[in-house]
Amino acid sequence: MRTPLQMTCVAFASLITFAFVTAGDPTESDDAILNKVLADWRTRQNETKTIRYLIEGEIFWPKDRLDNVAVPGIELKKPTKDFTGPVNLELAFDFDKGLARKERTSHYPMQGEYFSRHEVRVFDGQRSNVYRTKSEKETELLYLARHDHTRTPGAFLEGSDYPVLFAHGIIPNANAHIDAKQPRLPISRNLFWLVGKTIYEKRECLVIGTNKSIPPRANFAHEFVVDPSQGNSIVKWTMSCSDINAGVLRVLYQVDIRYQQTKHGWLPKDWIANNFLQNNLNYSEKLKVIEFDVNSAFDAKTFQIELRPGMPVYDVQTNQDFRVGNDGKSLIPYR
């Protein structure tokens, strides 16, 4: 028997596409509708200085997620059963200062087994520093890796984090994903278009896309179902890519979001995020907001993790290993 989350995952996994009434050639009315949506998104972005969210939920990994996946020269050990485990997540952003923190505890697959991992990512304006525990039984953090975001953008967030940022006018487009280095992406008229209208959860909503050329010429495209009755909130998001070699459109992420009305406007209440691998369900997360804070000042330590003498450090760009010196600051190469 499937759990409620598993049944929900199956239901949502089958809804990769949905019916809508397409818009014809743009009219003045279409432009006015789209401009109103974009204006609301810009207002959200401009009014948000800082955010902090505490989120809980669970993640579901189906046992057959790798059935159609082959990696040349590598034998993949596949799990023998489905797995559901808890998720705890904290997201904090100071948009004006360009700082971000993500702390997450969840389970991940590895060679047919599932392991708990606690991870903290802190973006200090230049680097994304990633910390993890050595094992699921330990609580002491290991300074695992540092990413230079001038060379490795997109190494901070996952699709299941996006609903929090959507609510504050942080919207991806065909040219850029949401990233800690530059989360405030431009909301320009030339980056979005009104695809049409659809009925979603018995409400008339808009469908807004980011690229008319997919498939097959664009690499990535985003499609948003937007609810005008909830302040033009994004209630459904689908991210797709075109596989030019196979001549097909592949769905990578699909998220359905429910909102709550607050003094800061419509903010996310809970969501289901599905990740796909070759159009098959890879994993699904069911998440809910436990606590949130908007436009409050942060303690400086929120975006800092103290280095300990002797802590190992791995630099992703140079592929070098270091240890922290006795002064707690200098990096000494391992020999």
Q: pLDDT tens, 106-140?
A: 988 877 788 888 888 888 887 777 887 655 555 55
What's the pLDDT score for residue 134? 55
Tokens of 325: 């010196």
pLDDT digits (tens, 9 = 90+) for 234-252: 999 999 887 766 667 789 9
H helices of 77-226, where?
Answer: 162-166
- The confidence score (pLDDT) of residue 245 equals 65
Preceding amide of 79 cis, omega within 30: no
Q: Which pLDDT band holds residue 278 (cuts at 50, 70, 90)?
A: confident
81 has pLDDT over 60:
yes
Pick from 87, 253, 229: which is nearest to 162 by CA?
Answer: 253
Residues sharing a CB contact under 8 Å with residue 218, sequence separation 6 or more, in sequence order: 174, 211, 242
What is the reported pLDDT for 200?
A: 96
**Residue 184 — φ and ψ, nearest 5°?**
-80, 80
Residues with Cβ < 8 Å from 12, sequence gap 6 or more?
Answer: 254, 256, 272, 274, 284
Which are the contacts of 230, defined by CB distance < 8 A and separation ≥ 6? 259, 261, 266
pLDDT digits (tens, 9 = 90+) for 35-79: 999 999 999 999 999 999 999 999 999 988 876 665 666 666 778
pTM of the model: 0.84
Q: What percent of the chain has pLDDT over 90?
A: 46
